[in-house]
Structure 1
């Protein structure tokens, strides 16, 4: 998995994680096109434990992929019903207010 933490001064950190095989691909669903880029999801790979640690305290989260979404579901951060599918790839966003 690739993990990047975007530090923002007013909105809290944004944690972006995607499954390894999705980096630098483009997914389409109808008129929606999502580019999964290094600029947003990073260039550094992360272990499952590192992903879990980053997700624990994150104010905002963007997840792409079966493995990373399964981790968030296992942690109780999101349910499968609240994820959208882009083709066969689950996508979840989490916002803590």
Structure 2
């Protein structure tokens, strides 16, 4: 997986994606979703590193079947809130303080 972390005034913003979806665009009805390289490209990460990054995120955007499955498995997002984009999946995490 690929992880990108950014510090913002509101907290850490994390983007995670499966490598094969980087740069791709997916559609689901009226929704077109681009896995923008500027936003999602970062460092290769194993599952443990992705989980640690998501644990420290204030906001996270997660795309790709493997990345979303990992986020669901570790309780970062609920399965019901995952968006099906046809060939891939997308989820968002927002921690309110």
Report the TM-score when normalising by structure 2: 0.91
SS at match of 2:71: helix
Aligned pairs, how many?
96
1:53-72 alignment runs, 5 A limit: 53-72=52-71
In structure 1, list runs of 5 or more residues that go unmatched. Answer: none
In structure 2, list runs of 5 or more residues that go unmatched. Answer: none
Moved over 4 A (4+): none
Q: How far apart, in 2, do the equivalents of 1:35 and 1:78 lie? A: 21
Alignment RMSD (CA, Å): 1.1
Q: CA deviation at 1:78?
A: 1.3
Q: How far apart, in 1, do the equivalents of 2:80 and 2:42 lie? A: 29
Q: CA deviation at 1:77?
A: 1.4
